[in-house]
Structure 1
Amino acid sequence: MTRSGNVIQEKSFKFALDIIGLCKELKARKEFEISRQLLRAGTSIGANVEEGIAAYSKKDFMHKMSIASKEGRETNYWLRLVKASNLVEVPDQYFSDINEINSILTSIVKTTSESLK
């Protein structure tokens, strides 16, 4: 677990761990394609946040956080699809977590964008 005190870094890392667990359940039910899509999107959020933290400029930081935000929205789509299709149980907490992550990322992108003007 990260110990940086960076909220989005910590939340996206924890969320990625949760997504890995959910994807294990999907794979156990032989839902490989959806599992792959969800795993890629759900873990990409944190990976892009990490890249953003190491950005060489504000513009680069905003770009990485924008990608993380898009991956977050895609993850929300896959979670909704898994839940609606009853492939496995998706705890409501996953939706609370991804909505919070998406809100934080939207705020980061908006604030950074305004500072670049």
Structure 2
Amino acid sequence: MNREQMKTRTKEFAKRVINLCRKLPETREGQLIGNQLFRSGTSVGANYRAACRGRSRAEFIAKLGIVLEEADESLYWLEILAETEIVKPELLMSLMSETKELVAIFVASLNTAKGKV
């Protein structure tokens, strides 16, 4: 997958997160967790774009590390939503699967960039 495809994929991920957040219950916990998920989920694509504009290998690696952190945090909030049954777990399976794939891709990309392959 090239950079442009990944930019598109992470933008689609952000849109899916936004759509999920729109549907969360208006309870205190639904809104608080939704806010956290919204921030981390939309940050993945924005930070990936910033990483692609890195001026050096070190800057790319640092920014890609942020992308990984945000993707992993998004997975955490999705797990919380599922495990507390704020959202039925089966409704989150597809988005959680995509999040896990993104995390794996970013881990592999970081390892490659660091020369750890």
TM-score where L is the length of structure 1 = 0.87
**How many Å apart are 1:5 and its aligned residue?**
6.0
Cα distance in structure 2, aligned partners of 1:87 and 1:32: 10
Any idea what the Cα deviations from partners look like across 1:53-85, whole Å, max 9, x if unmatched? 111111111111110001111111000000111
Q: How does 1:1-117 map to 2 (within 5 A)?
A: 6-26=4-24, 28-30=25-27, 31-89=30-88, 90-114=91-115
Where does the alignment leave 5 or more consecutive residues of structure 2 unmatched?
Answer: none
Cα distance in structure 2, aligned partners of 1:12 and 1:37: 17
Cα distance in structure 2, aligned partners of 1:93 and 1:61: 29
Read off the aligned partner of 1:99 and give its amino acid letter.
Answer: K
Higher relative contact order (CA 8 A, sep 6+): 1
Let me know the Cα RMSD of the aligned residues: 1.7
Percent of pairs with identical residues: 27
Where does the alignment leave 5 or more consecutive residues of structure 1 unmatched?
Answer: none
**How many Å apart are 1:9 and its aligned residue?**
1.6
Q: Does the Cα contact within 8 Å between 2:61 and 2:113 map onto a contact in 1? A: yes
Q: Does the Cα contact within 8 Å between 1:16 and 1:46 map onto a contact in 2? A: yes
TM-score where L is the length of structure 2 = 0.87
**How many Å apart are 1:91 and its aligned residue?**
2.7
Cα distance in structure 2, aligned partners of 1:78 and 1:11: 20
Q: Where do 4+ consecutive residues of structure 1 move more than 6 Å?
A: none
Any idea what the Cα deviations from partners look like across 1:79-99, whole Å, max 9, x if unmatched? 000011111233311111001
